[in-house]
Amino acid sequence: MAKFVFVTGGVMSGIGKGVIAASIGKILQARKLRVTAVKIDPYLNYDAGTMNPYIHGEVFVTEDGGETDMDIGTYERFLDINVPKSHNITTGQIYSSVIERERRGDFLGKCVQIIPHITDEIKDRLRNIASEGVDLVIVEIGGTVGDIESLPYLEAARQFRLDEGISNVVNVHVTLVPMLDVVGEQKTKPTQHSVQELRRIGVQPDVIVARSKVPLRPEPRKKIALFCNVEESAVFTSQDIASIYESPLLLDEQGLGNYLVTRLQLSSNSPDWSSWKKMIKSHLSPRSQVTIAICGKYAELADCYVSVNDALRDAGAALDAKVNLEFIETDDFEKEPAKVRVLSRFDGVLVPGGFGSRGSEGKIKAIEYSRTHNIPFLGICFGFQLAVVEYARSLGMEDAGSSELNPGSKNHVVDLMPEQNDVLEKGGTMRLGAHEILIDEGTLAYSLYQRTKVWERHRHRYEVNPEYIAQLTSGGLRFSGRSDANRRMEILELSGNKLHFATQFHAEFKSRPGRPSPPYSGLVQAGLNSKNQELKTHPVLASARK
């Protein structure tokens, strides 16, 4: 069976445990081992689909239509694999299946308890994942040690090592080592307390990864080893770095890879970092730059748009350009329409996915401004739907709207499909995951993708209303990509502009470092072209996407 690396977190959340879990995976993958990753979210929601991205960060959509935690996206980008939705385990899912089995009579006569029934369910799920043909499973347990909700998972991890044997399971604990500004002293006490709490639950960490501004100095390292009962050679630092993609290299240089190989008795080769290093170089030393405005509702929280940001950066790196991002709150354009002129100083405008009416008229204003002032524009999902509304209004259909936003308007150019009208539940009822899209040759979409069939990921309820397609296209708008036997419009483009392009799907979820997403490459390239005054209407990008 596969071997396991459990990653737990201490001191506080938000210190980059997901990146460290993904980095550990990468370190082992660089040694030609087959790796996958699992994220455990101890909350009671069944999945991340109904959670507010403003509070919890982006909802990442998997190929098989899971609405998952954004760490799954980090795993996909680091490991260049598609992670299935079964790899995002929540307490909601665990309890649902145990209770369902109880109702079925599977436990007849028994009292159903957290130990062993909940812990068994957790371990069974992990074992199932281990049988997917991998050498290693990285399991990140969300939250911070000491949270009530994560206790059953830590208990399952404790049992797991007992069940599988010490050479098959490693526990990595990620903590924060704060620095006192005045003297620059690295404080280890929070780490000591966190490990004490972990050991009280029965889990002894083998490895400690300390997040700190600068590398751990010898003294605090010794202290951590002594008080946490960990070998000194198993205490690593993850200091602040320019690009998160440097994290695996940083940890491997300190010996984490060698430690894991020995500890897990893996027969492995020496690591090959050549292509990863090349990718990092392109991220760190670009020759030119573009500045893109992301016009959204949750504009102030970059975590809402992690995949969008990463897709833009991946695209930039491949084009030897740094992509500067500025978040623009579209609410402001509604209150003060003249403010939209701020967009004139950007090389490109992106309107990302979104829900609900607040800020949507402002987004429409941003799209109108980009179209009429020939600023490269990319619309994603909601951005695509609003581009349709904006275009319809420009054709004189003044009350054009979407039934999600303007239920009172007569012309719903974006609407639910007839079969969707009876959907009342909110969780898991959207059109989700990867669907095949057919692209017309000779279009901008084709020049970006270089192919006529692509699979891209979705998360939406509303669609371009088929009744308006003839009218919309008569004005010059082109739907160059469609799906579902031409019933659904997936890509729109307008010729004449440097770039006026939008997709019903979320192409960002498939962008990978070194293999950027074509629509995002299109925006960055158009931004670069427009900056250089080489006004190419169709920037042809031979995308490396396979």
Residues interacting with ligand GLN, by CB under 6 A?
353-355, 381-382, 385, 404, 459-462
Cβ(15)–Cβ(7) under 8 Å?
no
Q: Is 508 assigned a catalytic role?
A: yes
Q: Whose Cβ is closer to ligand GLN: residue 217's or residue 461's?
A: 461
Q: Whose Cβ is closer to ligand GLN: residue 89's or residue 432's?
A: 432
DSSP per-residue letters across 116-134:
IIIHHHHHHHHHHHHTTT-
Helix (H, G, I), strand (E, B) or coil at 11: coil
Q: Whose Cβ is closer to ligand GLN: residue 377's or residue 462's?
A: 462
CA proximity to 538, closest of 503, 478, 498: 498
Cβ(34)–Cβ(80) under 8 Å?
no
Burial of 141 (0-12, 13-18, 19+ CB in 10 A): buried
Residue 418: CA count within 13 A, CB half-sphere: 3
Q: Whose Cβ is closer to ligand GLN: residue 173's or residue 297's?
A: 297
Other CB atoms within a 10 A radius of the CB of residue 102 amount to: 14
CA proximity to 500, closest of 483, 467, 471, 475: 475
Three-class secondary structure assignment of 163-175: HHCHHHEEEEEEE
41, β-bridge pairs = 90
From 173, 435, 460, 506, active-site residue: 506
- Closest distance between ligand GLN and the C-beta of residue 525, in Å? 24
Cα dist. 219→204, 233, 239 in Å? 22, 13, 16
Q: Is 63 assigned a catalytic role?
A: no
Cβ(385)–Cβ(414) under 8 Å?
yes
- Closest distance between ligand GLN and the C-beta of residue 405, in Å? 8
Q: Whose Cβ is closer to ligand GLN: residue 353's or residue 359's?
A: 353
- Closest distance between ligand GLN and the C-beta of residue 293, in Å? 18
The tokens of 200 are what? 């009280």
From 304, 381, 490, 493, active-site residue: 381
From 76, 140, 361, 508, active-site residue: 508
Q: Whose Cβ is closer to ligand GLN: residue 43's or residue 298's?
A: 298
Q: Whose Cβ is closer to ligand GLN: residue 34's or residue 461's?
A: 461
The tokens 């695209």 sit on which residue? 315
Length of the chain: 546
The tokens of 335 are what? 């209150």
* First-residue to last-residue Cα distance in the chain: 31
Ranked by CB distance to ligand GLN, the top (closest) residue is: 353
Q: Whose Cβ is closer to ligand GLN: residue 6's or residue 382's?
A: 382
d(CA 218, CA 94): 43
CA proximity to 59, closest of 416, 303, 298, 296: 303
- Closest distance between ligand GLN and the C-beta of residue 363, in Å? 11
The tokens of 27 are what? 């370190």
- Closest distance between ligand GLN and the C-beta of residue 374, in Å? 25
- Closest distance between ligand GLN and the C-beta of residue 59, in Å? 9
Helix (H, G, I), strand (E, B) or coil at 81: coil
Q: Which helix (H) or strand (E) holds 49?
A: none
- Amino acid symbol at 87: H
- Closest distance between ligand GLN and the C-beta of residue 459, in Å? 5
- Closest distance between ligand GLN and the C-beta of residue 195, in Å? 41
Q: Is 506 assigned a catalytic role?
A: yes
Q: Which helix (H) or strand (E) holds 494?
A: strand 488-494
Catalytically active residues, by annotation: 381, 506, 508
